[in-house]
Amino acid sequence: MEQQRVRLERDGDIAVIVIDNPPINAGSAAVREGLMSAIATVRAEDSLRGAVLIGASNTFIAGSDLREFGQPLAEPQLPTVIRAIEDCGKPVVAALHGAALGGGFELALGCDARIAAPGTVVGLPEVTLGIIPGAGGTQRLPRIVGIPRAIGMICSGERINSAAALAAGLIDAEAAGDLRSAAVAHARQLAGKQRLRDRAVPAADAAAVAEASAAALKAGKRRPQVQAAIDAIVATATVGIEEGLSNERAVFQRLRVSREAFALRHQFFAERDSAKHPALGDARPRDVRCIAVIGAGTMGSGIAIAALDAGYEVLLLEQEAAALDRGASRIHAHYASRVKGGKVNASVAAACEARLSPSLDWPRIAEADLVIEAVFEEMGVKQQVFQRIDALARPGAVLASNTSYLDLDAIAASTSRPQDVIGLHFFSPANVMKLMEVVRGKASALDALATGLSIGRALKKLPVLTGNAFGFVGNRLYAAYRRQCEFMVEEGAAPEQVDAALEAFGFAMGPFAVADLSGLDIAWRMRQAQVATREPAARHVHIADRLCEAGRLGRKTGAGYYRYPEGASRPQIDPAVTELIAKARSDKGIVPRELGAAEIQRRVMLTLVNEAALLLAEGVAERATDVDVVLVNGYGFPRWEGGPVFWARERGAAALQADLRELAAWSGPGFVPGDVQHVLNVEG
């Protein structure tokens, strides 16, 4: 028999309905069924004068069971449960702790009062999953906070802590002591039903609604569910609750089976699983309290900020005082601007800064449980630094390198403890970007890698385990992508056409605008270093070399693929580049042809799928869905497209094999075909 997910306990004349569906008390069909029967009991028994809804263990309903969303929903559905609560004739109090999100918070809004333990978070994150709240969230929330604020909350999916929720009226009280007793006492003193459905929607100023809508659409990249949520919320001003609820439900039902919702759920699960790695077995992370960051440059300062924000003691080490001062000032300026912008409370910022020790005293490395090296990207320098770390760090400390391209095994070999060496590849700016590659060297111990993944989570990153190969997963994918874009320019597309097609697809920025921003010289130097070893027959595009030779290194020199005149807000198309490209084509005897946006987008997706297949076959990527996590969180790939692996699985094996033959023909000599089965294998 299926285990009971809801049980009814009694506290005198108040029923305490306990939701017990580990691990997050998801509002699955069994929970909904259990709630229906408990509410029926409350309604029927004269000895009960009210009820409390509470979650077992450490949370209220933290969300719906997303796995159900791709299929027809089982009865009873959530709106039916909420209706039963509203119509049971007795007050029902939601006792919130942990998280009350999505359907969990909608259920709470269907109750007559909400009491929360301090630290509880509430919110309606449905929009971030391609849908809208479907059980009255868009109708009941505006009845508390008004239309403009409801638009802001629902469209951003923001999580609101109990103190802010209390200030906004989303909860009625924070429980000072025991939550359950506070909620029971509250239920006992409620005079009768206090249904939100019976409340009027506060009148809203048209300008404020327009402003909130415009801001939400912009922040939400104009995705359809954002507009749908706005429409549903705005409608509360003119339509009654019954009609509003039924319209909301219809939109929710349509959106939950939309392609975007499938893609966003795919990405949600891929991200959720990224730090749980079966390959690590039951290896336990080592304890980390103090982190030493070596090198206070761009990356070192960003890593230090991420670690300070997460509550670690940070020792920041440098080779010379001036560089150390620059790094320390950069960190200080960061916190000062966060406080000034109202993003961080001054005392929190001060506490973060107080945990930072900038120092030139290397023996202090002995204090660190984890050392993260972020010095110049040169093997000789890194090896020397690791030798020094090796001589000073305590036994068992994890030693990590932030290298982007260097061979981790060669770095590890310069120490006496390669088992403790891993890669922690952050992305710039390191305190902002979510992605972090945890690189496995050939000697890396499983618990050192587990420490990398757990630190990633603690720093609020999405850590992905990768093998040790040139560019790891992310930069390998990106290099293949960029190469394909260069092919297309050589064949006839202008850089701005390629950028526009990919931005229209949803990339935050096109590849040529990105190249100009990060500077063309790094890749140029890398190509020069590889000239001797590269496949001579393979197709090489020389346009970027010609740009660099002409001193066009990107934004920092005022020109790259585009021109950046002083004062111009956007990159400008440069006739000199058009001419340079035309010459490069004619040097190779290429007759330019038109490439449409659809071809550009398709070639990019196929290239990414092919490279993912190669990375999986080589064991550099360990799990197909990690590829999607990497691209969305490190490279501006549009989340709502799910990622190339999602796309490939949608297309299926037969179509993909034909697609990849076409990609091979487009790409010319040197193209290495991957086996798409690696991408399609859902266990992979």
Residue 459 lies near ligand NAI (rule: CB under 6 A):
no
H/E stretch holding 493 reads none
**Residue 319 near ligand NAI by CB under 6 A:** yes
Kindly indicate which of the ranges 49-57, 373-381, 440-448, 658-666 contains the residues binding ligand NAI, using the contact rule CB under 6 A: 373-381
Strands of 133-286, DSSP E: 160-161, 173-174
Is residue 157 part of the contact set for ligand NAI (CB under 6 A)?
no
CB of 638 to ligand NAI, least distance (A): 22
Distance (Å, rounded) from C-alpha 142 to C-alpha 149?
8
Q: Decide: is 295 part of the binding site for ligand NAI (CB under 6 A).
A: yes
The single residue among 294, 408, 577, 629 that binds ligand NAI, judged by CB under 6 A, is 294
Binding status of residue 299 toward ligand NAI by CB under 6 A: yes
Residue 377 or 599 having the CB closest to ligand NAI? 377
**Which CB atom, from 216 or from 422, has the smaller least distance to ligand NAI?**
422
Of 178-186, 347-355, 372-380, 651-659, which part binds ligand NAI (CB under 6 A)? 372-380
549's CB contacts (< 8 A; 6+ apart) are none
- Selected range binding ligand NAI among 6-14, 111-119, 263-271, 399-407, rule: CB under 6 A: 399-407
Residue nearer to ligand NAI on the CB measure, 99 or 294: 294
Tell me the residue nearest to ligand NAI as measured from the CB. Answer: 297
Q: How far is the CB of 600 from ligand NAI (least distance, A)?
A: 26
Query: Vertex 369, ends 364 and 375: CA angle to 5°?
Result: 65
SS3 672: coil
User: What whole-number distance in Å separates Cα of residue 165 and Cα of residue 123?
Assistant: 9
Q: Measure CA 257 to chain center.
A: 22
Q: Give every strand in the sheet of 356-359, ordered side by side.
A: 356-359, 313-317, 290-294, 370-373, 398-401, 421-426, 435-440, 462-467
Number of residues located near ligand NAI, criterion CB under 6 A: 22
Residue 578 to residue 208: CA distance in whole angstroms: 46
- Using rule CB under 6 A, residue 390 touches ligand NAI: no
Phi, psi of 505 (to 5 degrees): -65, -30
> Is residue 21 near ligand NAI by the rule CB under 6 A?
no
Among positions 375, 421, 541, 613, the unique one binding ligand NAI when judged by CB under 6 A: 375
Among 239, 381, 410, 446, binds ligand NAI (CB under 6 A): 381
DSSP conformational letter for 420: G
Does 297 bind ligand NAI (CB under 6 A)? Our answer is yes
Residue 29 CB partners (closer than 8 Å, separation 6+) = 65, 68, 73, 74, 75
Q: Is 622 a catalytic residue?
A: no
Shortest distance in whole angstroms from residue 227 CB to ligand NAI: 35
Cβ–Cβ under 8 Å, residues 273 and 627: no
Q: Is 161 in the site for ligand NAI (CB under 6 A)?
A: no
Query: Does 428 participate in binding ligand NAI (rule CB under 6 A)?
Result: yes
* Interatomic CA distance for residues 441 and 420, integer angstroms: 10
Q: Which two tokens stand for residue 135?
A: 């059980």
Which residue in the set 128, 403, 466, 607 belongs to the binding site for ligand NAI (CB under 6 A)?
403
For ligand NAI, which residue of 81, 216, 255, 385 counts as binding (CB under 6 A)? 385
Nearer residue to ligand NAI within complex by CB, 96 or 294: 294
Report the alpha-carbon distance of residue 404 to residue 418 in Å, rounded: 19
Q: Does 475 bind ligand NAI (CB under 6 A)?
A: no
AA letter at 121: V
Q: Which residues pair with 462 in a beta bridge?
A: 435
Q: What residues have CB less than 8 Å from 182, skipping those under 6 apart?
A: 95, 115, 173, 175, 176
The contact mask relative to ligand NAI for 320-339 (x = CB under 6 A, - = no) is: ---x----------------
Decide: 448 and 415 in contact? Cβ < 8 Å.
Answer: no
**E strand or H helix at 604, and its extent?**
helix 597-617
Structure-derived torsion over alpha carbons of residues 482, 488, 493, 496, reported in degrees to the nearest 10:
-10
Cβ at position 302, least distance to ligand NAI in Å: 8
Of 220 and 302, which CB lies nearer to ligand NAI in the complex structure? Answer: 302
DSSP per-residue letters across 9-30: EEETTEEEEEE--TTTT---HH
Given a contact cutoff of 8 angstroms between Cβ atoms, the answer to whether 330 and 428 are in contact is no
Marked catalytic residue, from 86, 126, 260, 611: 126
Residue carrying structure tokens 């259920």: 107
User: Taking CB under 6 A as the rule, does residue 359 contact ligand NAI?
Assistant: no
**Which span sits near ligand NAI by CB under 6 A: 195-203, 423-431, 478-486, 589-597?**
423-431
Q: Contact with ligand NAI (CB under 6 A): which of 120, 236, 404, 625?
A: 404
Residues of this chain, 94-113, that bind ligand NAI according to CB under 6 A: none
Q: What is the rounded distance in angstroms from the CA atom of residue 439 to the CA atom of residue 464?
A: 8
| 662 is annotated as an active-site residue | no
Span near ligand NAI by CB under 6 A; candidates 115-123, 243-251, 297-305, 490-498: 297-305
- Active site residues per annotation: 106, 126
Question: Which residues contact ligand NAI (rule: CB under 6 A)?
Answer: 294-300, 318-319, 323, 374-377, 381, 385, 402-404, 426-428
